[in-house]
Structure formats: C-alpha cells, structure tokens
Amino acid sequence: MSNRTKDITLDIVEAVRDVLRRHEVTFDEYRAGFQHLAKTQGAGEIPLLIDVFFNSTIVEIENEKRRGSHACIQGPYFVQNAPNVAETLAIRDQDAGHPKMVMRGKVTGLNGQPVAGAVIDVWHATPDGKYSGIHDNIPPQYYRGKITTAADGSYECRSILPVPYQIPNAGPTGELLETYMQWHSWRPAHIHYWIHADGMRDLISQAYFEGDQYIDDDCCNGGGSEFMVPEVYEGDVRVMEVNFTLDPR
C-alpha cells in the first residue's frame, strides 16, 4: 500500500542529506542551522520562512493543472472574516494623504461568461509594510475586504497604493536572508486576491505594478504574475484593472 506522507517525507530527507553531503556540512554548521530554525519557531516565523522558500513551488505545480488565470503565492498574511466592502477598503487616518488606487475588473468563466456574486478577498500592506490583523496591532478591518462581483461579473473598490514591500526583517527570517545569505528581504509592491465563486475552483493571485524593480528579484521567488498592471491613472488615482478567468470545478 502506498503511503504518500511516508514517500514525500523520505524524499525530503534524502534530498536534504544529499545537500549536506555535497557541501560537507560540519557538525557545528548543522547545529547552527537547526538552532536558527528553533529561533525562527520561537519568533513565530515558521509560516513566513516556509512561504518565502516553498509557496512558489506549490503554485507552480497548481498552475500546471489550472485553466484560466494562473495562481500566485498566497503568503502568510491572509486573514479570514475580513469585512464586506463596497466602495473602499478602510484606510487609517495616518495614511489618508497617501496616493490612491482603484481596483477594478471583471470575473469571468473560461468562455468569457460573467461570474456574478463571486467574492474577492483582497488584502495589501500598509505604506510602512505591515499587514493589518498581523503586525503592530493594526485592526484587521484595514486594507482588507470582501468585494462581491455584480451581475456582469464586474467589481470595483478603492484603497491606497501599495509600495515595494519588505517582509518582516527584524527577526530570524530577515537575518537569514540579509545577514547570512547576503541577499535582501524585498518583494515587489503587490495586491493579494482570493476569489471564491460557486462551481469554480478558488483562485489565489496577486497583481504587480509594471516596472517594479523587485518583480524579477523577489525574495519570495514569486515568479511574477500574469497581472502586471501598466501605469494608468484617472486623475491622481492609479487604476489597477485586473480581469480574472476562473476554472470550473
């Protein structure tokens, strides 16, 4: 009888053993490595560490089997039960002067038929790179919400403009990326989406801003997105038009 958990676990173990042998890892290095993992656990950063390195691979696998829009990495900062929103996400008073964006587009099925009543969970970071409900005690209703598509599949909602984003770098994950790997902890500016609709597979995606320097040098190996939104403004409001095509279940 096949045991998938056993098969995968033993393959992971064998892959790691191979790396240890190839680099002739010493006992001191081995101990420093697992102590850093323990420190990461202590700091509550295991979800962050795992998503930084491996979320993108799971998405790659999923996209092989997905029709319609491609998925992107979810990241560790989705929060359930975000408020339903109509015109705008909640904006903190201190961010009121920040440049604005409007998110709009259409959700359709594979044949272009509109998907009415789809629920789009959107979430993005504050201008200082925090996620509400996770960091700095920012109440979870800010910069998150559920948008429902209209009869023609369209949606529209406003917020402030995301900026290039540094993952939390004061802890062990940042220490690994910056100090030990001498890399960096930046991601391109992005908006997260999670779309649920009856009869359709969920779609978890992101939109990026065309020209962002971190799209091709993303510390989370995001691999970009099919939603690279060009720089279009309506007055002083950046327009983020993103049209999603859902794959039926």
Q: What is the greatest pairwise CA distance in the chain?
A: 64
Could you tell me where the DSSP H helices lie in 23-168?
Answer: 27-42, 46-64
C-beta of 60 vs 156, nearer to ligand MBD: 60
Is residue 177 within 8 Å of residue 170, measured between CB atoms? no
Residue from 45, 49, 51, 100 binding ligand MBD (CB under 6 A): 51
Residues 137 and 133: their CA atoms lie apart, in Å, by: 7
The residue whose Cβ lies closest to ligand MBD is 75
Tokens of 15: 């892959």
Select from ligand MBD, Fe ion, none the partner in contact with residue 220, using the beta carbon and a kind-dependent cut-off of 5 to 8 Å.
ligand MBD
Strands 154-160 and 100-108: antiparallel
Note whether 188 binds Fe ion by CB under 5 A. Answer: no
Select from ligand MBD, Fe ion, none the partner in contact with residue 203, using the beta carbon and a kind-dependent cut-off of 5 to 8 Å.
none
C-beta of 73 vs 107, nearer to ligand MBD: 73
Interface residues for ligand MBD in 74-103 (CB under 6 A)? 75-77
How many alpha carbons lie under 13 Å from residue 32 in its C-beta half-sphere?
7
| Contact characters 59-98, Fe ion, x per CB under 5 A | ----------------x-----------------------
Q: Kindly list the residues in this chain that would bind Fe ion in the complex (CB under 5 A).
A: 75
